[in-house]
Every structure is written in structure tokens, then in C-alpha cells.
Amino acid sequence: MNKPVAIYDTTLRDGAQAEGISFSVADKIRIAERLDAFGIHYVEGGWPGSNPKDLDFFDAAARRKLKQAKIAAFGSTRRAQAKCQDDPQVAMLLKANTTVVTLVGKTWPLHVKEVIRTTLPENLAMIADSVRYFKENGKEVMYDAEHFFDGYRDDARYAMATLRAAADTGADAVVLCDTNGGALPSDVARITAEVRKALRCAVGIHTHNDCGLAVANALAAVENGATQVQGTINGFGERTGNCNLTTVIPCLALKMGRDGIPRENLRRLRELSLFVDDLANLRHDVRQPFTGATAFTHKGGIHANAVEKLARSYEHIEPELVGNRRRVLVSELSGRSNIFMKAHELGIHLDKDSTEAKDVLRQLKQHEHAGYEYEAADASFHILVQKLLKRHKSFFNLLAYRVIMDRHGNGEHKIVEASVKLQVKGHVVHTVSEGDGPVNALDRALRAALEKFYPSIAQVKLLDYKVRIVDSQLATAAKTRVIIESTDGTAIWGTVGVNDNIIEASWEALVDSVEYKLFKDEQKK
Amino acid sequence: MNKPVAIYDTTLRDGAQAEGISFSVADKIRIAERLDAFGIHYVEGGWPGSNPKDLDFFDAAARRKLKQAKIAAFGSTRRAQAKCQDDPQVAMLLKANTTVVTLVGKTWPLHVKEVIRTTLPENLAMIADSVRYFKENGKEVMYDAEHFFDGYRDDARYAMATLRAAADTGADAVVLCDTNGGALPSDVARITAEVRKALRCAVGIHTHNDCGLAVANALAAVENGATQVQGTINGFGERTGNCNLTTVIPCLALKMGRDGIPRENLRRLRELSLFVDDLANLRHDVRQPFTGATAFTHKGGIHANAVEKLARSYEHIEPELVGNRRRVLVSELSGRSNIFMKAHELGIHLDKDSTEAKDVLRQLKQHEHAGYEYEAADASFHILVQKLLKRHKSFFNLLAYRVIMDRHGNGEHKIVEASVKLQVKGHVVHTVSEGDGPVNALDRALRAALEKFYPSIAQVKLLDYKVRIVDSQLATAAKTRVIIESTDGTAIWGTVGVNDNIIEASWEALVDSVEYKLFKDEQKK
């Protein structure tokens, strides 16, 4: 019974509930495109009825062409004692204009009575009406049964009736949600099997990690007939997080042999994991199964030795299958094959065994050791490799810059000013500009200096700017990593800078961004 | 069949295999004493034969009186073709002078042949001889069957024969080890049940988290007859870590109702988890089930509202049972109830219906709209509410600051300098400082100005510094939000600053951090 398992990603909705995570619309679009390229089947973009900003994402998403992923909008069943047509939350959901609509509704009598305060039959009508309404509007409909396992334990008959209300009105799948993360795998296994027997539509599973069992619960459901798994990249989510897709996907594919994500795409799992961490501005969890930096690291003397003798002895899978690598000695180097894959993707040909390639690898290692990270900074990676291969063309040289900031009293007297002195095409250009802050002032002065020589610079806009401390133990004296996202209206690219000084790091990322744009323009000619 | 489950801790041995962890003998003693006080049954202290330093620990431990925990020394079965009496590794193990000896041996024919390179019958003799030897020396003996699940899949008969070799010569327990972390819960359940049927001695389980399933695998084994669980505090261990005892212990006690650790001791679970993190000098995993800072944190507006109505709805257990607490985040999506719960939590009394309270709410909304986020910035929230209530006391006034940065050419000539002019207790103080970057320079100048008036400022250290653009559409001209984490060695607090100018935003967060420290010190007096 090797039915394919569909992967439903809710990083952009449930994942964004995590403390400290907030994605911009540009972040969300970039993540959705990556998930699509990776082979994720459903990408849930947000809850238009609860956060009006989410409509901007659905607007932007509608204008992009995804390869295969379907975009889903999340919302709840209609309000009690109302019609779908008159419910503003339902209207927003329709307005999101997605292929898929995912509706959450109540399973647990306790919640029906105490939280939404209506009757048990009215709750069933709310489910049935809402599913029917979106089916009539041509949607693929998922029904998320909130608190399903708690509800089932409390009143199995009623819990099943809520699922039937959705299934009988045409829901394409009912999804069993362990909303508070309190269920055990043996219970999930038994209950999923019973649901599977009782319904004809597809069954999905949505779990949380409050007992450290989110992945185990998802697998238990799949073993008992579920064919859709909901979760988030890196397990982002409220409290302890959601089911971690970067763990559950390789478990399904490599351990249980289930179809779903194409096997060859798994080789980019680690890359995907780091990319999403970077956009969330979160520290990478080095111990994360499959994708963590230490996931295939061997320290103990006997182990390291034995692994060399016989890798299969001490590793449950080959690290390369998920884009990771074995580390035996202490070394920061990213996987060789990753680097070649990435270079290839950017149109740079590197012969694996050439001296050139080894040189690039060695120098990349030094950069990574210094705190650079290229997962979300393709453009900087491109420029770096070009530089290492001596194929880089500089469009200008920096002679000097200066930044002055002054504040008196409560800020009624303030100055932020940057001056830049460049050599461009044989000319010395000296510009000065004010700004809201030092980076903005530098950015303006740089553009002012370049625009008359390279008018296309005017198209470039900075979309986002993120800063992390690389070694946080040293706080403000530690290294600062800046990641900038830029666009020229068609493409979006990322650049990175690292320095003790945040202004220096920002300058580095700004220069990469501008140079990448000029390089791309030249290529087109 | 509610047999008690014994907890066997290997933080000091397998946990110390983790990258970046190394415990001193003093650390180890402190941890062992804590584990004992918490009610852990077995504390494995090290491998005397592989690390001679471990004997120092066993020496020191022997001189202490533990309340109830038994200390175990770990080692392997005797070498092939040798006698126990002549094996130096076995001798060291005896020399550790512990109540318990835990012996690891081979299960998997592949390993017998390729790693230790002996015959299958000789391996059985090695197990039997070694167990018998330590039993004759009066030890309680655990037999750890390495790679048990891989071995069983490969050759179930031989795997069972290795267990019998241990059980028949008097092992008190055989422990099934998923050494490479590759097993699935359904396999562990089935195989453990079969072992249980075949043997009369106790069965234990030792799992690793390579598939994110270490806890699930341990629970599956217990559900099928295992009565000993091995693991580490916070899941420390090689690669992705071992079975996390801080997760498995509350699952066993609170979810499965199994006896083991006394229920009242669970209230110190979070404290134990933080203690071990501190000694390992590792950052606390805020998302860790049960013990993490965000494990009972509520963010989304609907949830926070519902939790107040009915905690049981959204929490799988009461946080106090494991020494944790409910936290409600104040975020963009937050409604009224979030804010009042938060104020209450910080010890600020607000009457919901007073004009004062409505004023605070209105102004908080403006702040959030301007980009402030108080989720990770309790201290700034505290100061803000005090200010809004006109109860805030200022410890100094800023008169002026200036930052100058200069760079020429490739950076061979660089200056980063900040000067600060403050009024403190009626005096005007003017200080100047260099720094790696502008924020570091300002931080130094500020401390230099304050330290002679408020010496306790010297205790404050910045732990982390994070920067985000609030409205990313405007990029470098947009608002910058800075979040700073500070500590004075005992407490940790977060502060936030928002401004167009990153330096201004950082300054704001720095000032809040310093003022919060001074406010706390005053409260203590």
C-alpha cells in the first residue's frame, strides 16, 4: 500500500506563529518559490481573514507561475448563525483567489460549547455549509479538524460526525489535527486507522511537537492510512513548533519508502532548511535530524574510526541523500557537491578535480569560517566564485567613505551624513548624501556616484535587510552578518557582508548587490 | 501493567560525546548530585577504559553520599581471544568501584566480522564471560546491545542469541540500543515485544535522535514491556543527540501514568534542564518540549483569548507540573487580554476598565504600529508601561552623542569612535570610546559614563543582538528594529528599539537594558 504521501507546508501560516518569526511579503514569495522547486505539493500562504496583510501575499503569488505546488489559503468555518455569503472572514478567504482552501473547524464538544459558544448541531452545520460553499466556488477543500484527538477521546461519535459533515459535503481531505501536541503515537495510530475505515475521502495529519512526538505522530498516521502530512520547514511554529517537514520528508522517503517528494530533490533538503532559517533570521539548529551541521558528525574515537572502515555501521543513511555530509575531523567546509551544484545552478562551470576547483573550495571554507553564509545570498556567492576564478570584473573602486552621526538632546538636532569617493571608468567621483540612518546615507551616496555612469542602477531597490551576530557570546563586539535582498523589478537576489562593524558589513552587501546587477546587465548585451 | 520505569542517565558519558561539550570533574559531580536529587535511578559517569580522566570522577563520586541514585561505569565486553582477568579495559572498569557496570557488546554480525573482526561464537563468549565476571565481582550488570535493531533486522536469531548470552549469565537487564538512530517506532514496538517474550530479565531501551524519533522509540519500547529508559538531559549526545530525558520523563509520568520519577520532583524539571545547559555552556533551546521558554507561550490572538477562557483547551498539560509557566506574547496580533495577562505577569496591576488602562492600551497599539515588538523584550515592555503610568524613574539624561566612521581604500585606515554626553545625578559626564563598530563604541562610552555612579552596570553583559527591518518594502530607508538580550549573571532580559536609524534604535535598546537593570537593583533595596 505504497500510496504517495502529499506534503502540505504551513511554514508561512502556522510557522509564522512562532516567537520571533515575522516574514515580509518578499520573504514569503521567495519561500513559496523554493518550496515549489523542492516539490512540496501544497503551500499554505496565510489566513486572509485574520491578517489583512496576507492578502498582499496571495496577490503577489497569483502573479507568479509555480511549477507544481498549489497555493492554499487558510480560514475557519463560517460563524455560528450566519450565512457563508454574509461572513466577512469567508469573503476574504474567497478573495485570496487560491486553488486550495483549508478550513479549520471544531471537533471537541468542550470547544464548541465554551470557546465558540454554540450548539453541537450548529457546529456540524457550520462545517457542512462552509465546505459546500467553497466546493461550489470550485476550490479544492481541506478540512482541518482542530483538537481532533482530544475531541475523539472525549466523544468519539461527535468527533466522527464532524469529519462526516466535511466528507459528505465534498471535502477533498479531512486532516486530523493534534492542536495542542499532547497525543501519543500509539493513540494516533489507532484513531487514524479507525477514521480511515469510516471515511472514503483522503485523510491528513497535522501535529505539534509539545511532547517531542510531532514527527512520530505523523509517521504513525501515515502507517495507518493518512496520505497527507502537514508541517513546517525546520519545525517552526507556536510553542515547541509543528511537525518538522525536514525530518518527516526523509523519514517517509528513505525509511518507509513512500513516494511523495522526488528522491533527487532530497539532496537539496539541507539547503532548503538553511534558506528558511536565514529568511526567518533564526539561528540554524546544528542538531536538527538529517539537515543539522552535526547530524553526521563523528566525535567518539571508536565511531570515527569505524565510520572510516564501514560507513554503514554508524550512519543510518548516506548524508549526501539529504544534501548533508559526514564530518569526522573538525572542519567547517560545506559539502563539496553542494558547492558544485550551486555553481552549476548559477551557470558557472567548475571541473571537480581541477586545481581551480580545489582553490575555490579552500577559499570558500575560509569565508564560511569567517561567518559568511551563502544559502540566502546567491549573488554574493556568484561574485565570490567569479573573483576566485579571476573572472570578476570590478565596475568601480572605493577610495574612501565617511559617516557622521550627531544627536543633541531629544533628537531635535540630528545629522546623518555619508560621503563616498569612488573611481569609476577612470573618473574620480565624490558624493555626499544624508539619510535616515548610516546605511541609507551610504546607499544614497553610492547610487548618486554611480548613476550617471550606469543608469540601470536606478531600477535596483532593496527589499529587505537582515542582521545577525555570528558569535553572539561577544555581543556588540562580535561579528555582524548582514543579508540584503534586492530587486530590479523582475529578479530578486540576495547578498551578504560580514564584519566587526555593521556599517562595513552593510557596505559589503550593498556593493555586491550593485555589482551583481551590473554584471547581469552586461551578460544580457 | 504499571511497572515502574527506571531512568538511566548517560549525560556524563554519551552526552559528553556531543560537539562542543566537555565537562570538568567538578561539573560532573554537580550534575550527578542534581540528577540524584531529582530522582534519576542510574547515573552513568564515564568510560574509565577509554578516558582515564573518568576515573577521577568515579573517585570523587565514591566519596560523596548520594540519596538514591546508583553510579554506573560504562565499558565494553572483553577483547576477543582474551581472559577478562587479563584485559586492561575490564580492569579499569572494575577499578571504577561502582555499584553498577554497564557493558556494551556486539549484536550485528556485520560488526562482529568487520569492526571487531572475530567469529560469531567468540562474540557470544565475550558477552557471557564479561557479564559473568562482573556478576562474580558483585556488580549490578546492564548489558547494552549495540546496534540491536539493525542486527535484529539482519539476523534475528543471532541478535537474540547475544541477548541470551547476557541474560543467561546473570545480567540484571539487557538494553536494546538503536545506536545509529535509524529505527522507526513501529519496528521498535514489535521487536521489543518479541524480546520481552523471549527473556526473563528486565529490558531497557537506549535511543538516538537521528530521525527525530528518539523519544517516540523509547515510549514504544516501554509500551511493549521495557522497564528502563536510557537518555541524557536536554538530549545531549553525538550527532543529533540521545533520547531527551527532559521529554521522556514527563511523557512517561504525565501522559502514560507510569511510576518512576516522583511526581512532585517533575516540578523541578525546567530548573534541571537549565542547570545542565549552563554547566555545558550551551544556549537553552527555547523550543524544547516541556522545559523550553516558549513551550507554553501563546501568540495568536484567538488562542490567547481562548486560553484565558479555558486553559485546558490549548495546553496539553499544566505548565507548573514541569516547573514551567504560561507566557503570553504581546505582538501585533495581540488583543487586550494578552496585554493584561502580560502586565500581570510582570507584577504591574492594571484595572481593565480604568481610564489609565485604556490609555496604556491605546499607546501600546501606537508603539506596535510603529514597529515595536515586545515578545522578546519584556524589559522594554515593563519600562514602557511604567512610563505610560508616569511611574518611570530616569537614571540619566542624554545631552548628546556623536559617532564618526572613516575608511580609506581597502580599510587599512579606519576609525570608529563614539562620544556620549550625559547628565547623571546632577553631573555632566562626557566620555569617548572607540569600538569595532558604532554600536559597540556607543555601548562602551555609555558604560564608561555610568559606571562610577552605578557600579552594578559592570555586571551587565550583552548576550545577543538582533536586527530586522520592520517595513521591508522601504529597505534601508525603512524602520529598523533592534532586539538586545542582556544578563547580569542571574537574570536575562530583552529590550527593543525602533528607529529609521539603526544606531538610534540600538541606542534605545541599550538605554532600556541599562535602566531596567538599575530599576531592578532599586527594587531589591
Judged by CB atoms closer than 8 Å, whether chains meet at B502 and A438 is answered as yes
The DSSP call for residue A460 is -
User: Within the 89-128 window of chain B, which residues sit less than 8 Å (CB to CB) from chain A?
Assistant: 108, 110-111, 114-115
Q: Which of B117, B282, B476 is the mutation pick for testing A, counting most A CBs within 10 A? A: B476
Q: Best-predicted range by mean pLDDT among B54-68, B212-226, B280-294? A: B212-226
CB < 8 Å to A247, chain B: 211-212
Domain A396-453 architecture: 2-Layer Sandwich (3.30)
Q: Residue with C-alpha cell 492554499? A: A72
pLDDT of residue A330: 32
| 8 Å CB contact of A213 and B210 | no
A329 touches chain B (CB under 8 A): no
Cβ atoms < 10 Å from Cβ of B362:
10
Give dist(CA A257, CA B370) in Å, integer.
50
Mutate to test the interface with B, among A28, A324, A436 (most CBs of B within 10 A): A436
Residue of B296, B301, B438 lying closest to A503 (CB–CB): B438
Of B312, B463, B466, nearest to A281 by CB-CB distance is B466
The residue in chain B having the minimum alpha-carbon distance to the alpha carbon of residue A398 is B409
CB B290 within 8 A of CB B253: no
Is B229 near chain A, with CB under 8 Å? no
Contact A470/B at CB under 8 A = no
Q: Closest Cα partner for B8 from B306, B260, B380?
A: B260
Sheet containing A480-487: order of strands: A492-499, A480-487, A461-469, B461-469, B480-487, B492-499
- DSSP structure class, residue A77: P
CATH 3.20.20.70 range(s) for chain B read 6-280
Tell which of B144, B316, B399, B508 to mutate to test the A interface (max A CBs under 10 Å): B316
Spatial distance between the Cα atoms of B446 and B424, rounded to a whole number of angstroms:
11
> At A130, which amino acid appears?
S
B188 or B409, which is more confident: B188
Nearest to B220 among A185, A285, A438 (CB): A185
Q: CB-based burial of residue A387 (10 Å sphere; 0-12 exposed, 13-18 middle, 19+ buried)? A: middle
> What's the gap in Å between the CA of A191 and the closest CA on chain B?
15
Sign for the pseudo-dihedral over CA of A117, A122, A126, A127: positive
Tell me which residue of A498, A23, A508, A484 sits closest to B476, measured CA to CA.
Answer: A484
Give the pLDDT confidence score for residue B260 in this predicted structure. Answer: 93
Q: How far apart are CA A269 and CA A247, in angstroms?
A: 10
Rounded to 5 degrees, what are φ and ψ at B250? -65, -30
State the Cα–Cα distance between residues A308 and A328, nearest whole angstrom: 9
Query: What digits encode the pLDDT tens for the residues A416-475?
Result: 999 999 999 999 999 999 988 888 899 999 999 999 899 999 889 887 777 877 754 444
Q: Does residue A80 sit at the B interface (CB-CB below 8 Å)?
A: no
CA B344 vs. chain centroid, Å, equals 27
Q: Residue A115: which of B248, B313, B333 has the nearest Cβ?
A: B313
Rounded (5°) CA angle A212-A218-A224: 135
Q: How many residues does chain A have?
A: 525
- Does residue B300 or residue B172 have the better pLDDT? B172
The shortest C-alpha distance from B314 to chain A (Å) reads 5
Q: Which of A219, A309, A502 sits opposite B438 (nearest CB)?
A: A502
Least Cα distance to A216 among B214, B224, B237 occurs for B214
- Specify whether the backbone of A504 is left (phi greater than 0), alpha (psi in -120 to 50) or beta: alpha
pLDDT in tens, A68-102: 999 999 999 999 999 999 999 999 999 999 999 99
For residues B99-123, average pLDDT: 95
pLDDT (average), residues B13-42:
87
ipTM of the complex: 0.76
pLDDT of residue A477: 53
B110 and A310 within 8 Å at the Cβ level: the answer is yes
Residue (of B301, B351, B347) closest to B328 by Cα position: B301
Q: Do B440 and A216 touch (CB under 8 A)?
A: no
B483 versus B32: which is more confidently predicted? B32
Residue B456 to residues B81, B238, B339, B421, Cα–Cα distance (Å): 66, 40, 31, 20
Which of the residue ranges A194-203, A304-313, A326-335, B171-180 would you say has the lowest mean pLDDT? A326-335
Residues A293/A32, Cβ–Cβ less than 8 Å: no
DSSP-derived letter for residue A225 is T
Q: Do B404 and A402 touch (CB under 8 A)?
A: yes
Pick the residue from chain A with its C-alpha nearest to B482.
Answer: A467
Q: What is the mean pLDDT of residues A275-300?
A: 84
The position carrying cell 548618486 is A448
Q: By the CB < 8 Å criterion, does B240 face chain A?
A: yes
Residue A334: pLDDT above 60?
Answer: no
Question: If you average pLDDT over every residue of chain B, what do you get?
Answer: 88
**A286 contact B CB<8A:** yes
Assigned architecture for domain B6-280: Alpha-Beta Barrel (3.20)
Mean pLDDT of A42-54: 87
Q: Tell me the three cell numbers of residue B515.
A: 535602566
Q: Which of residues 335-354 of B touch A (CB under 8 A)?
A: none
Please, where in chain A does CATH 3.30.160.740 lie? 396-453
Question: Contact A476/B439, CB-based, under 8 Å?
Answer: yes
SS3 assignment for A81-135: CCCHHHCHHHHHHHHCCCCEEEEEEECCHHHHHHCCCCCHHHHHHHHHHHHHHHH
B138-152, B385-399, B440-454: least confidently modelled range: B385-399
Q: A180 Cβ partners below 8 Å, 6+ apart?
A: A147, A150, A208, A210, B313, B314, B315, B316
- Comparing CB atoms, the residue among B186, B240, B251 nearest residue A223 is B186
Chain B residues with CB inside 8 Å of A211's CB?
Answer: 215, 247, 250-251, 255, 289-290, 316
